[in-house]
Structure 1
């Protein structure tokens, strides 16, 4: 009786569902099996290795991942194709128009040129990290051909590089756009994980801003007296409202009797709609704030002034219910408001700052007066108090230093002269 021989290593029997492993004619080993795919379907995949053990290990890993309910990547296209689809079919419905425009510019200028040719399913964290490191040291004039479009080249086209590199904040923004796009690919089960999340770019330093001091703020308000938008600048400094929130404010949002304002909308210029009224930046930005007496008086005078302008304009008046309008009643373009603000700064003899720095000035002055951080957070409409704490960390640090110095003065003992005087008085005192 003959004993049956063991099956060939390439023909060993495997349990049902474990797939098959065999050696190809070219000498490589191939393993094939069925795994979970998108849409709760199953498909047959093939992996390869130089040895039977390597091919089997790859297949086992795929099957184990499938058994955990994670479908295998089905993205056969490039990163460029998927990001374009994401912008045109998904992000356009989820983002504000201006945000979508910035995302699109970021994808076309940086992501597609850098990672666009990579297969989405084969993109690795190493690819992302290598690309970001290269982007960090690349002159943008040279990389994007900016210099060649100038009338008088002064960089790479002229033979000298200006080394105009991206700022850490811009790099962090580009990285965040990539993470957002890949995150949607994970949700659509195109890829198993977001490799961009495994790359650390470091925390960039926040933009430095120089808010107005109390004296400078008073100087600015003095310069705005007599200006037709005096109430707007006064409201901006007292409440910290954003530019769009001020321009989107309607009379129906104000209750001048109780001294409150409901912040519900913002006014922005978009590429397709022009001046457009939109919801507030975030849900936390939709809030009700208290108005100081000074602002209430200015708003009442502004309403009277607006009524006079309406009578002068007659049929040309464009009624839209906004608090701050042009002399014909139309909404104020944010760019025009910035120009007026710059003119007022020059008139007041103040350094040039952004309009948004009025918001920072409000928060800084409130902090310096000892107002609680949570109150400032509600006034500014931040989503989380951590945002307020992070943005104004330098102010809090200065206040801490002042508090520590004050405590040090209390805890310090008397000076040598004072101690000697106390001792001499004690010696001179009669003994009873």
Structure 2
């Protein structure tokens, strides 16, 4: 018997713990009972850094780390809380918001970030940003002339006809162009949304922007048409090429983009209905583009008045004649409202036609969107229920309808109270006969 048979040597035990591959990171349990997973991911500046994520179970921590490594492999850098707020805002716009927001909304977010957030708070560390920093910055925005701060007047090209003469910082005289409370609330909401996403990604423990109160701004004022003005507007639009569009806007309250996005396949003229499925808008990258409706509730089916059905039939005949005249130059876009060659109408072009119509009818200058407000106001004044108006306008919640048209409801309440006052006043003036007890006994009666 050899020595190797008598002394086989130390026995080695294989570990039951699975060995993770190189680059997968490590997972271990901390002394406080939580699980921590750590690994290397892509950081801004084409560098790599080690990050740690935590979870109540090993599976949860490992899932969070795997998600970050997968994003890193796709080339998405992970922003550290020790980095600047400007770096995180840029990261969120380029890698998160661009996939979640409509292009028009993303454009507004980008303008807000570049014009206000980065110049004011961009140098602050994301982890060290405090509520008092945000409050001080917002208070400063309230008292700073934006024309002077951004050099708007200095960049203005002189043009006497367009009234582009220097009148502020270029001549040393401040025009006091301050931000409105509504704009300040919007800037604060963009910052709050970005920090909320940083909390979800566990970059920061809490959203400090929620501790800053900007106050509730007053709703934007609008100038709806009165009943007499609405009749004047419809009479002036009767001979216009886009008569059907203007009548549809005032009688149904559709938005500008919803009107321009209508296709003939969306209309059921025999059933007097219209399906609102899209909106036509000009975007920075795609040009004139058909986009989904503003909200899910905006995608709806509405009833068409008889006057709109008649004008749409006449518009269809006019479009058929224009198609015949254009011949080979006709572009069959399928839209209800088009240019004479079949191309969709630009929103800016519709605005010019609308303003010219107001001048011709000698009505006061109001926005095209105020036609929508005119529809709702006139319906409310006629006693139509709020829920019906909400469905017609496509508001997401009835609270939006109630808030926007609160002044109309207040006027209706005043009229109702005055009516009750007149009735009670008449009762007080009438003579009251004494009850002699000979009246017949009261009994229940059906109410129709």
Segment of structure 1 superposing worse, 150-159 or 92-101: 150-159
What corresponds to 2:180 in structure 1? 167
Quickly say closer, same or farther: Cα 1:66–1:274, change in 2 above 3 A: closer
CA shift digits 1:294-313 (9 cap, x unpaired) = 11111111111111111111
**SS of residue paired to 1:203:** coil
CA shift digits 1:341-368 (9 cap, x unpaired) = 1111111110011000000000000000
**SS of residue paired to 1:283:** coil
The question of whether the paired residues in 2 share the 8 Å contact of 1:36 and 1:66 is answered with no
**SS of residue paired to 1:412:** helix
Query: Does 2:126 match 1:120?
Result: yes
Q: Give the Cα separation in 1 of the matches to 2:222 and 2:120.
A: 32
Tell me by how many angstroms 1:159 deviates.
Answer: 2.3
Q: Give the Cα separation in 2 of the matches to 1:154 and 1:241.
A: 39
What corresponds to 2:342 in structure 1? 329
Counting only pairs closer than 5 Å after superposition, residues 14-413 of structure 1 correspond to structure 2 as 40-41=36-37, 74-150=80-156, 151=158, 153-413=166-426
Tell me by how many angstroms 1:414 deviates.
Answer: 5.6
Q: Give the Cα separation in 1 of the matches to 2:234 and 2:36.
A: 65
The question of whether the paired residues in 2 share the 8 Å contact of 1:35 and 1:42 is answered with no
CA shift digits 1:179-213 (9 cap, x unpaired) = 11111111111111111111110010111111001
The question of whether the paired residues in 2 share the 8 Å contact of 1:36 and 1:42 is answered with no
CA shift digits 1:69-107 (9 cap, x unpaired) = 999x95110000000111111111111111111111110
Tell me by how many angstroms 1:35 deviates.
Answer: 8.2
Tell me by how many angstroms 1:66 deviates.
Answer: 9.1
Aligned CA RMSD, in angstroms, stands at 2.4
Q: Give the Cα separation in 2 of the matches to 1:66 and 1:199.
A: 30
Tell me by how many angstroms 1:36 deviates.
Answer: 10
**SS of residue paired to 2:379:** helix
The question of whether the paired residues in 2 share the 8 Å contact of 1:367 and 1:373 is answered with yes
Report the count of equivalent residues.
Answer: 365
Q: Give the Cα separation in 2 of the matches to 1:129 and 1:271.
A: 33
What corresponds to 1:52 in structure 2? none
The question of whether the paired residues in 1 share the 8 Å contact of 2:36 and 2:55 is answered with no
**SS of residue paired to 1:305:** helix
Q: Give the Cα separation in 2 of the matches to 1:199 and 1:353.
A: 35
**SS of residue paired to 1:192:** coil
Tell me by how many angstroms 1:173 deviates.
Answer: 0.7
Q: TM-score, normalised by structure 1?
A: 0.80
Q: Give the Cα separation in 1 of the matches to 2:294 and 2:180.
A: 25
The question of whether the paired residues in 2 share the 8 Å contact of 1:210 and 1:357 is answered with yes
